[in-house]
Each structure stands twice: as structure tokens, then as C-alpha cells.
């Protein structure tokens, strides 16, 4: 008897390469369908092998185009690739654009590619929780490289660092971009900078300025971000971009403790987020119970300040039962 016999049917289907089962599980994740939870639990030990690469950057800099070019490059190398486009605002706009553009260049019968755009609608854990779960499904399904493109707010851009082992920040050669990037906090998350649209004027200058900026800072965790000039439009610099990404991966692997430490940091962030999600849910439940409306009544009437009331709610819900029973 093998351990596999105890796996849920959907997990077995995913592991056997059933792409429709994979897509169905992703939909369940997006819809917060609790039926997916035992499947995720069963698949978790089979994850952790994929190289997860995040791509972030300002609107319209060519992230999807770079993803598309990397995808083509990796397929030529024989690497299996999955793409996840994360759009926190709309399930259709940005994502479907990405899907359409990539569909143009890929062979629909190519089982080595999987593309998914996703939205995360109103979950307390935000975009990250659902994205992590979708990435894990792809990881378990055996994709070697998973490219995660963020679409939308700067906050989501920054959260990519909690999901990906390598973060690529895509920029374009326009004056002031570096300053904007610094402001948006993107500078801190980049392992690799990609100055895209090199077919336009100024790319080399922008890359030089950026390299200087990178040179001024201290390496983060021993790594100094690489700066690559590329044009997703004509394909120049894409193999160099992949080389830079792969170099970061190699750097992580050079010291086994390094990758483990980075992963533990990401997992700690995830656990805090998940616990916070539970607390948030139970606090909402507490306040929505009519018999508990005294919390809100007291705060609204200025009898209790919000922090004291919050302490009271937390105590009531999470203090050990023995303590709660005391008079």
C-alpha cells in the first residue's frame, strides 16, 4: 500500500498531469471553496520544488510582455512554465489581456505551459493567500518555473516578495523612474531589475543610473541586485534576463542555509497572515452577534475606548477556557 492511495481523488488527478483537475482546483481556491482544503493539505508535502519568480513594476512597463518572452525562452530550453497573473481589482481586465497576448505565441497543445489569471475577491488574507495556494497547486503539478505577474496596486507588488524566491522589478527608460521606484518601495524588493523597452531611447542610460543606485546600497542578505536591459518587443536581453534570474537562484542554492532561511521568513509571514485571518473572522462574528452588541454600544457611547473593547473581545474569544470560566 502506498501513501498515494490515501490522497483525495482530485490530488491524484493533479499529480497524474490532469490539467482540467488543476484548473478546477484553482477555481475552488479562488471561490474559497472549503472542499479544496483537504486537497491542499494532501499536496503540501509535494511542493517546494518549483522556482517561483515574481514580476512587479509600474503600470504598462511591459511586465506581461516580459513574461511572454521569458515563457518562450524557457520553452525553448525545455523547461516547463506556469504563469499566474494576479489582479486584485478585477478578475477579467488585466488578466485576460495577459492571457490573450500569451495565447498568441504558445502552442495550445503544449502541456509544458499553464497560464492562469486570478483575482482574489474580498478575502481577509488578501491577494497573497489565494496566490500562494494557486502557486502550490502548480508546484505540485510539477512545473519547474512559476512566473507570477502582479497587476495593480503597489502594495501587491511588494507582497510578491512573500511568495517568490526571486523578485524581478520591471522598469522603463524614462527620467525619474528610479526615484518613483524608490518611493514605491520597489527598490527594496528587487533581486533583478529589468529595464524593458530597450528599443526606445535612453535604456542604457537608465540602466547605468540604476546600477549606480544599486551600487550605493549595501547588498541585501548578501545579494546585490542585477540590472538587465531588455526589449520584450524584439526579444533582446531576454536570455540575459533569464541568466540573471538563474544566477540569483544559484546564489540561494550555494549555501543551503540561505534558501532555508529565506523560505522560513516567507512561511512565518504566511502563518501570521493566516492566523490574523482567523482572528479577523472571529472578531467580526463576535460583533455581529446581537447578544454582543454591548461592545459596540459602549464604544459608541464613549463608555469604553476602542482599544479596551478590543482587548475585551480578544480576551473573551482567545483566553484559555479555564480562565474564561472564572467569575
- Contact residues: ligand GTP, CB under 6 A: 59-65, 94, 151, 196-197, 199-200, 231-233
Rounded to 5 degrees, φ, ψ at 92 are -115, -40
The widest CA-to-CA distance across the chain, in whole angstroms, is 75
Between residues 63 and 161, which has the closer beta carbon with respect to Mg ion? 63
Residue 117 binds which one of ligand GTP, Mg ion, none, with CB within 5 to 8 A depending on kind?
none
Residue 85's DSSP bridge partners are 117, 149
117 near Mg ion, judged by CB under 5 A: no
181 near Mg ion, judged by CB under 5 A: no
Between residues 43 and 69, which has the closer beta carbon with respect to ligand GTP? 69
Between residues 227 and 232, which has the closer beta carbon with respect to ligand GTP? 232
Q: How far apart are CA 91 and CA 168, in angstroms?
A: 23
Between residues 15 and 148, which has the closer beta carbon with respect to Mg ion? 148
Element (H, E) at 226: strand 226-229
What is the C-alpha R_g of the chain?
23
Task: Give the CA dihedral 182, 207, 227, 114, nearest 10 degrees.
Answer: 90
Q: Burial, 201: exposed, middle or buried (Cβ in 10 Å; 0-12, 13-18, 19+)?
A: exposed
Residue 61 binds which one of ligand GTP, Mg ion, none, with CB within 5 to 8 A depending on kind?
ligand GTP
Taking the complex as a whole, how short is the minimal distance between the CB of residue 150 and Mg ion, in angstroms? Answer: 9
Q: How far apart are CA 25 and CA 86, in angstroms?
A: 17
Residue 196 binds which one of ligand GTP, Mg ion, none, with CB within 5 to 8 A depending on kind?
ligand GTP
Q: How far apart are CA 232 and CA 62, in angstroms?
A: 7
Residues of this chain, 41-70, that bind Mg ion according to CB under 5 A: 63-64
Taking the complex as a whole, how short is the minimal distance between the CB of residue 196 and ligand GTP, in angstroms? Answer: 5
Between residues 61 and 169, which has the closer beta carbon with respect to ligand GTP? 61
Residue 199 binds which one of Mg ion, ligand GTP, none, with CB within 5 to 8 A depending on kind?
ligand GTP
Between residues 43 and 170, which has the closer beta carbon with respect to ligand GTP? 170
The Cβ of residue 24 has, within 10 Å, a number of other Cβ atoms equal to 17
The site for Mg ion (CB under 5 A) is made up of: 63-64
Amino acid at each position: 500500500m502506498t501513501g498515494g492511495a490515501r490522497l483525495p481523488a482530485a490530488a491524484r488527478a493533479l499529480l497524474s498531469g490532469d490539467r482540467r483537475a488543476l484548473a478546477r482546483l484553482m477555481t475552488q481556491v479562488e471561490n474559497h471553496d472549503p472542499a479544496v482544503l483537504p486537497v491542499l493539505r494532501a499536496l503540501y508535502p509535494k511542493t517546494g520544488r518549483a522556482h517561483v519568480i515574481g514580476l512587479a513594476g509600474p503600470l504598462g512597463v511591459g511586465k506581461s510582455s516580459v513574461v511572454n518572452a521569458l515563457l518562450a525562452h524557457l520553452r525553448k530550453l525545455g523547461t516547463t512554465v506556469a504563469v499566474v497573473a494576479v489582479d486584485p481589482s478585477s478578475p477579467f481586465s488585466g488578466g485576460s489581456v495577459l492571457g490573450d497576448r500569451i495565447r498568441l505565441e504558445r502552442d495550445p497543445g503544449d502541456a509544458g505551459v499553464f497560464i492562469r489569471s486570478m483575482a482574489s475577491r474580498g478575502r481577509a488574507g488578501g491577494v497573497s493567500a489565494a496566490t500562494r495556494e494557486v502557486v502550490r497547486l502548480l508546484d505540485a503539478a510539477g512545473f519547474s518555473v512559476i512566473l507570477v505577474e502582479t497587476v495593480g496596486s503597489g502594495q501587491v507588488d511588494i507582497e510578491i516578495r512573500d511568495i517568490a524566491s526571486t523578485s524581478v522589478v520591471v522598469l522603463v527608460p524614462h527620467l525619474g523612474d528610479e526615484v518613483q521606484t524608490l518611493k514605491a518601495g520597489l527598490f527594496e524588493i528587487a533581486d533583478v531589475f529589468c529595464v524593458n523597452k530597450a528599443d526606445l531611447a535612453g535604456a542604457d542610460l537608465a540602466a547605468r543610473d540604476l546600477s549606480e543606485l544599486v551600487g550605493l546600497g549595501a547588498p541585501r542578505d548578501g545579494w546585490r541586485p542585477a540590472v538587465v536591459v531588455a526589449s520584450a518587443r524584439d526579444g533582446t536581453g531576454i536570455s540575459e534576463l533569464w541568466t540573471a534570474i538563474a544566477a540569483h537562484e544559484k546564489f540561494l542554492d550555494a549555501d543551503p542555509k540561505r534558501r532555508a532561511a529565506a523560505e522560513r521568513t516567507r512561511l512565518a509571514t504566511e502563518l501570521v497572515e493566516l492566523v490574523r485571518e482567523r482572528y479577523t473572522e472571529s472578531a467580526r462574528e463576535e460583533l455581529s452577534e446581537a447578544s454582543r452588541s454591548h461592545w459596540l454600544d459602549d464604544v459608541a457611547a464613549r463608555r469604553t475606548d476602542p482599544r479596551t473593547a478590543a482587548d475585551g473581545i480578544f480576551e473573551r474569544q482567545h483566553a484559555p477556557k479555564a480562565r474564561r470560566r472564572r467569575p
